[in-house]
Structure formats: structure tokens, C-alpha cells
Chain A
Amino acid sequence: MILEVDNLQSGYGRIPILMGVTMGVAEGEFLGILGHNGMGKTTLMNTLMGHLPTTGGSIRFDGQDIAQLPPHKRSRAGLGLVPQGRQIFPDLSVHENLRMGMAGGSSEDLDFLDEILTLFPRLQRLLDRRGGALSGGEQQLLALARCLCGRPKMMLLDEPTEGIQPSILEEIVDTLKVLRTRGLSLVLVEQNLDFIAALSDRVLTIQKGVITGQMAPEDLKNPELVSEFVGMTTA
């Protein structure tokens, strides 16, 4: 297990959101987490990354207890987050955004940056463009590429499909499948059933801050099963 989360609790100020999340991710595994808005998906991601304080439970990553580490130390330990809303630096160029992906290391490896870019042909033409001037889909690709520039062992991917045209979604799926063959582990939170089914080895469902069940990706095509675990009525 590269990531072991046990009874994790967290929230905003005094308002608890995560009520005790327990899950594990094997090395090289793509884990999907499915849930409605407001069920704690983004809170889980931000707690794993360290942007929200862990108020109970433990997080072990790559053999190390990281629950009390600040975000930059978790990043240096090999955890990468592609956050909701993508968080591209708007006034940095695309190339500078990618260089920021290497900011945690002691030096920049521009050859590795070029290697990552071969996975993202669409970005190659945009290197001098301001990050803020890209379309939502291009920004999502940039956010993925930027994260990969930091050579993460595990990527946390928070709702990448939000507001993105389908053609780019297919590109993202294809790119991530390539990365799986290179040993990356992934935790993906989503409410887009097709996207999560296309990528995940295993899907957990989250409701009101606890994991409510586990499904095989094939089961996502069965609306009754999905609504039983997630409370989703539309499939």
C-alpha cells in the first residue's frame, strides 16, 4: 500500500466534514472515489495534501506518517495534487507554470519537462501563452502536466471533468492510461460516471464524509447499484 488512510477526520474550523475515512491505495493502482457535491470529496483531497488540518486518524504515505506535515513537505515526499479549478498561475506563461511543477526540487530538469510535454502535444504550441488565457480544457492538461513535472509517486486528481469539452476528456483519459503503465498511482474523485469508469481499477463511494461502499468500475453502468451507494438518481 502506498497510501493508507485510517479513520481520517477533518473539516473547516469547527464544522466537521470527514467523519472517519478509511481507505488504502496499492502501488500503481487507480482508485476512483464517487460522490455527490458536498459529500466531502474535495475536503478529502485537501486534507490528504495538507491544506486542511487532520483532526483525527492517520495518513501513511510511502511508509511515512504525513498527517501533520505541511503541504510542501507532502509534495516533496511524492504526493501531487491537481486541484479542483485547476489553479493555474494566471500571469505565468505555460512554460513557467510547468517549471513551477519542479519548484520543490533542488534544481530544474528541463529535459524532463520536455519529456512530459511529449505526452501533451496540445500544450507544445502554447508554451509562451499566459496560463490565464488558456481554455478550461487546456488549463486542465496544463495542471496535469505541471503536477507530473514534480515526478509524483501518487497523483490526487480532483474533479478534472468539471467544465471541460469531451474531446479533451478523452485526451486526459488516454494520457493517464499511459501514466499507469509507468507506475503512477492515482486517486481520482469525480461525479462523472463515464470518466471514473474509464480509469479506475476500483471505485469507492463517499457520502456525508464516510466511505459507504466499494464497486467494480463495470457496476457503474448499473444505475440501481450506483444510486444505492451514492444516492445518485441520474446515471
Chain B
Amino acid sequence: MDIAIIVGLDVISGIASLVLISAGLAVIFGMMKIINLAHGEFLMLGAYATVLSVSAGVNIWLAMLVIAPVFVGLVGVIVERCLIQFLYGRLVDTMLATWGLSLVIVGGTTMLFGNTIVGVASPLGGFSVGEYQSSLYTPFLAVMAILVMTGVWAVMRYTRAGLIARAVMQNPDMAATLGVNPARVYMATFGAGAAISGLAGGLLAPVAGVVPTMGAAYIAKAFITVVGGGTSILWGLITASGLFGFINQIAAFFTTPVFGEVILFIAAVVLIRMLPTGISGKFFKGRL
């Protein structure tokens, strides 16, 4: 029984981390149909912002939940203005440019802070289930994943900015005819996606090894989650994270963590072969 609870917690944690590491990418892909290959580096910048703030004496919650998203959000806006805005509608060019950008960010971070692992202590303690130990940080991540999803949903569904964003997503020319400047909406969306990535990076900082190259560990998983989920931001993210997170953790439990990842990627390949437009392209067409 205890082992079942622990595996259940692992599955929840796996799903929650997939949601968190993919949410920013999903917002940008779902809204703007571009793939940001510097997404992993946005996570890394969020993690660094957290670690550096904490070592400068800032409260860890403030660092994770405020400083990381605000900082990476600003980076996102600058990147959009200086790079992305010239490449709309050119999927491959955007991927190349953001990949180049990711190399620049990794190089710059390494130059500034060195190629060493830095970290912060987890701010929450542990608890035991029978003879097993688990960290309270796991359920906290799950709560944060739910909050991020609910937040995105609420903004899109209930605010004027969210309405305008959904309209631009469906028909940018018509939105412009009605007086909306699509370029500004894209800039804000990219900034918001980056901020969510920064938040995720901040939240991962206590449980991940924070190095300049850490983004590479996340981009592939985030990428397949978003592509597997399709363009519906929330439903795609929920279903794909749920499916892949579950497969990954269960497979890891019965084999090894490495095989868990292998099976995750095989599952993703099969899924995308069967549903080329992703889960939401088939079952949640047109939903948020």
C-alpha cells in the first residue's frame, strides 16, 4: 500500500513537472504557431535568477514566484522585439534563430557564472509514508502546476486581454480590422510564455542541478509534450502531460529511470504518428 502511494506521488510529480516545463512553450506555440527552441534556456534563466537572488539574501519564495517570472518575462519581450518579430510565419527560420539564441544564452551564462552546478535548498521538509520518505516539495509542485493552468485559463477566459489574445489566435487579420495591433498581442504573448517558463525554472531550481546547460534536459520533453498535445493550450497540455507523465513514471518504476525516458519518447513517437495534429487536434478542436 505504501509503495502504491509513493508511486502515485511519483506519477503526480511527473505530470506536474511536465505541465510546468511545457506550459510556457505551449502558450507560445498555441498562440503564435512558432516553436521556441530557446525554451530550455528560459527555464535555466529562471532557475539562475532564483539561485542568484537567494544567495544575495532574497527570500526564496519571492525569488521563485516573483523575480524569476518577471526577469524571464522581460527577457522574452526583448527577444521578441529583437528577433522573433521579424520571423512570424516562418516556422523553420524561427526554430533556427531560437536555437542560435539558446547557444548564445548558454554561452553567456557560462561566461558569467561558470560551468558549475549551483543550487538552493528545498524550502519545504519531507514526510514519510510508512517506511518511505518523500518531499513536501512534490505536492507543492503539483499545486503550482494546477495554479499555472488555472491562471492561464482564467486570464484567457475572463479578461479582455485574454479575449483579444484568443481572437488574434483565430484570425489576426480580422482582429486588426477591429483595431487590434497583432504585433503587440504577439509581443505580450511571447513575454507571458517566457514569464511562465521563468516561473517553472524558478520552481525547479531546488530540485534540479542548476547549470548553464540544464535547458537541454527539458527542451525535448517540453517539445514532445506540446507537439503531442497539439495547439489547444490547456487541453493539449493537460492530456499530453497526463499521458506522458503517467507512462514515464510507471515505466520508470517497473524498469529504470533511463528506460522510463526511452519508453516515454517511444510513446510520443507513436502518438504523433497516429495523431499528427496532437491530442487536442483530434479531440478538443477549437478549445482553449
Contacts and interface: CB of A to CB of B under 8 A. Distances in A.
Contacts, number: 74
A201 to B, nearest CB: 25
A71 to B, nearest CB: 4
A87 interface: yes
Contacts of A75: 176-179
Interface residues of B, number: 19
Interface residues of A, number: 27
A89 B167 contact: yes
A92 interface: yes
A177 interface: no
Contacts of B160: 99, 103, 108
A144 B175 CA distance: 15
Q: By DSSP majority rule, is chain B's interface helix, strand, loop, or mixed?
A: helix
Nearest to B181: A72
Contact of B179 (A92, A99, A150): A150
B166 to A, nearest CB: 6
A96 interface: yes
B170 interface: yes
A93 B214 CA distance: 42
A91 B287 CA distance: 7
A38 interface: no
A208 to B, nearest CB: 26
Contacts of A103: 160, 163-164, 167, 175, 178-180
A163 interface: no
Interface in A72-120: 72, 75-76, 80-81, 83, 87, 89-92, 96, 99-101, 103-105, 108
Contacts of A76: 179
Interface string B178-199: 1111100000000000000000
Contacts of B167: 89, 92, 96, 100, 103
B163 A72 contact: no
A100 B181 contact: no
Contacts of B176: 51, 70-72, 75
B269 to A, nearest CB: 30
A51 B182 CA distance: 13
Given A72-B176, A87-B171, A92 B181 contact: no
A76 B180 CA distance: 9
B286 A150 contact: no
Nearest to B176: A71
Given A90-B170, A108-B160, A100 B286 contact: no
Given A51-B173, A71-B173, A87-B171, A92 B178 contact: no
Contacts of B124: none
A150 B181 contact: no
Interface of B: 160, 163-164, 166-167, 170-171, 173-182, 286-287
